[in-house]
Amino acid sequence: MANIFQRREIGNDIYFSKITDSRFKTNVITITFLSPLSEEIASENAVVSRYISKRSRKYPTCALMNNMLSAMYCAKLNGGVAPMGDTQAISFSINYIDSKYALNGENMDNEAVEILADCLFNPLAENNKFEEKFLNLEKQSVIDDIESEINDKSFYASQNAAEIMYKGEPYAFRVLGTVKGVKRVTAESAYRAYLRILQHCRIEIICSGTSDFEDVKKKLTSLFTKLTRNEIFSCKTHKSPLKAVPEKVEDKMDITQSKLILGFKTDCDNLSALTVMNEIFGDTPTSKLFVNVREKMSLCYSCWSNINWLKGTLSVSCGVEKTNIEKAYSEILNQLELLKNGEFSEEDIVNAKMYRKNYLKSYNDSLNSITVWYLSRIYCDNIATPEEWAERDEKITKEEIIKAARSLRLDTFYVLTSDDENELKAV
């Protein structure tokens, strides 16, 4: 095993985890706040995460902050939000070299945690509100990112499809919120959101690298345990219920390549079986969708599938000519039907497991990816190393793969296509 994982509670729903891995010359401290994903507060959290990760009372401008980070051998400070099932993860992290490589004997753990703590506990604020000029810059940054989604048509289509597939569920909301929601954020409401994050979110502190992080733990324990924390948000993800009838939605846009998204839902709890099945179905260059729908039949430019195991769903995404949408749709369902009937070989299973093993092994290639892995495992209350998970996958049988495939039910049919007179037939 490449790393050693330890975790303990240091306060009211505040957890400190340490991942020791001596292969690296750097360390990462990541502090994640888990908040319910909702339309009302998603935009506020997104703006706040950017504002307080770029400046503080001690370093009130981006230039001063960047100068300090440069003096720390080009340390990197980041803040942002990400979806984690029905939860919005608000994360702040700093990447920095280990003290043994500092030229002048600096204690890099102390310097790194001081900057991170200064951002979190001493934000640039006065009279219970943030500095309006700088806040407006971060608001515009979030708005630009939301509006730029339309430039990546595949991502834009998948976001639209998710709104339909998860209608009525928190996961249907965009993690950055909406342009309208961002515009409503004020210097006062952003500061209130900042306090809400500190006081009511579950906190996961994860330190990864070669350090022992004892100084980091003492510093953060001292600061976080001084907070008044109550009514901690419950952040759980629920499986997405299957619609009684699959929903079909067609959006029009001036594009040359149509985007087809098929959403399936499952009640299968065998995550390893679902994962291996997905590798065979559409997640690898040797998968059924890639080899047959894309290569042999030339029905699309791209075709792949991915699993959202937190929500119990599988999505198939295609880049396709409008005239081939019905054919691609039919062949995707046909390939799934073949899996359900067990029409795949032992070689397919071996290739899928090998691909999966190599993918899991890649989590150990960087400290950031190691942190992401363990945060997701903590969230699911199913802590295991990538190697242990690979061992679970290796034990999956053909019968379990067939059962996982048979559990899939079509829930959503979404198409983003050109606005011309050629209408799609009923699918």
How far, CA to CA in Å, does 420 sit from each of 103, 254, 300, 322, 417?
65, 9, 20, 10, 9
Topology of the domain covering 247-417: Cytochrome Bc1 Complex; Chain A, domain 1 (3.30.830)
Q: What is the pTM of this model?
A: 0.94
3-state secondary structure of 19: strand
Residue 84 forms beta bridges with which residues? 87
Amino acid 419: pLDDT: 81
Condensed to tens digits (0 to 9), the pLDDT of residues 165-208 reads: 999 999 999 999 999 999 999 999 999 999 999 999 999 999 99
Query: In this structure, are residues 304 and 282 in contact, taking their beta carbons and an 8 Å threshold?
Result: yes
Q: Give the single-character DSSP code of 296.
A: I
Q: Look at residue 190 in the predicted model and tell me its pLDDT.
A: 98
Report the share of the chain in percent with pLDDT over 90: 95
pLDDT of residue 426: 47
**Integer CA distances (angstroms), 56 to 47, 134, 177, 242, 328, in order:** 15, 11, 25, 46, 53
pLDDT band at 40; cut points 50, 70, 90: confident
H or E element: which one contains 29? strand 26-36
State pLDDT tens for residues 356-396.
999 999 999 999 999 999 999 999 999 999 999 999 999 99
Percent of the chain whose pLDDT exceeds 70: 97
CB atoms within 10 A of CB 326: 16
> pLDDT tens for residues 73-104?
999 999 999 999 999 999 999 999 999 999 99
Token code pair at residue 340: 């359900």
CATH topology for 4-224 is Cytochrome Bc1 Complex; Chain A, domain 1 (3.30.830)
Beta strands 87-97 and 14-20 are unpaired
Domain ranges within the chain, ordered by starting residue = 4-224, 247-417
Q: Which of 36, 146, 34 is nearest to 91 (CA)?
A: 34
Backbone angles phi, psi at 381, to 5 degrees: 55, 40
Kindly tell me if the per-residue pLDDT of 16 is higher than 60.
yes
**CA triple 396-409-406, angle to 5 deg:** 35
Length of the chain: 427
pLDDT digits (tens, 9 = 90+) for 106-161: 999 999 999 999 999 999 999 999 999 999 999 999 999 999 999 999 999 999 99
pLDDT for res 3: 62
Beta bridge partners of 287: none
The amino acid occupying position 320 is: V
Q: What's the pLDDT band for 4 if we cut at 50, 70, 90?
A: confident
Q: Give the residue from 192, 217, 194, 218 showing the smallest Cα distance to 207.
A: 217
Q: Which residues of 232-269 are buried (b: 16+ CB within 10 A; e: fewer)?
A: ebebebebbebbeeeeeeeeeeeeebbbbbbbbbbebe
Per-residue DSSP letter, 240: P
pLDDT at 1: 42
pLDDT score at 265: 98
> Which amino acid makes up residue 337?
E
The Cα–Cα gap between 34 and 90 comes to 6
Split at pLDDT 50, 70, 90, the class of 39 is confident
Q: What's residue 110's pLDDT?
A: 97
**What is residue 303's DSSP assignment?**
E
Q: Please tell me if the domain spanning 4-224 has the same topology as the one spanning 247-417.
A: yes
What's the confidence (pLDDT) of residue 421?
A: 57
Q: Is the pLDDT of residue 264 over 90?
A: yes
Alpha carbon distances (Å) from 236 to 42, 233, 381 = 16, 9, 11
Query: What is the rounded radius of gyration, in angstroms, for the C-alpha atoms of the chain?
Result: 23
Phi, psi of 124 (to 5 degrees): -75, 95
Query: How high does pLDDT run on average in the chain?
Result: 95
If one compares 292 and 420, the residue with the highest pLDDT of the two is 292
